[in-house]
Amino acid sequence: MLVRFLAYSGCRIGEAFALRWSSLDLERRTVTICENISSNTGKSVLRPTKTYASRTIDIPCRLAEQLRDYRSESSTGDVTPLVFPNVKRGYLQYRNWRRYWDPATEQAGIKALPHDLRAT
């Protein structure tokens, strides 16, 4: 779901890692981006966006439906405020997520970074 979100929204990876359910309006199909996770030091730090400005973006109807389903499937009574949490319900870290991304892109026969999805 994270890869789909990145491809359809054009968000930066750290913005997706920081995304909270309260920032999504699935009825209106909008997402408000106002935070970013930086984990360059191995520790996740919540910061403002790269431009220090929040923005609201439209998402396709199909993505809104998939996010709604994803939320239903992933909630087990202990709902995290994060859309894409790690297994401990905290922030994902880029270097850990790349452990999945790199083999998947290699298997697909493409050379791409998560940032490349911003241009799809």
pLDDT (tens digit per residue) in 14-57: 999 999 999 999 999 999 999 999 876 667 888 888 888 999 99
The answer to whether 8 touches 60, Cβ cutoff 8 Å, is: yes
Q: Whole-prediction pTM value?
A: 0.87
Between 31-45, 65-79, 91-105, the lowest mean confidence (pLDDT) is in 65-79
Question: Token pair for residue 84?
Answer: 């894409």
pLDDT of residue 41: 67
In the chain, the percentage of residues whose pLDDT exceeds 70 is 92
pLDDT band at 78 (very low <50, low <70, confident <90, very high): low
Question: Which residue in this structure is represented by tokens 């909630």?
Answer: 75
pLDDT of residue 72: 87
Residues sharing a CB contact under 8 Å with residue 9, sequence separation 6 or more, in sequence order: 16, 31, 57, 59, 63
DSSP structural state of residue 63: H
pLDDT of residue 79: 64
Element (H, E) at 44: none
Give 49: exposed, middle or buried? Use CB within 10 Å, 0-12, 13-18, 19+: middle
Choose among 63, 79, 55, 48: nearest CA to 6: 63
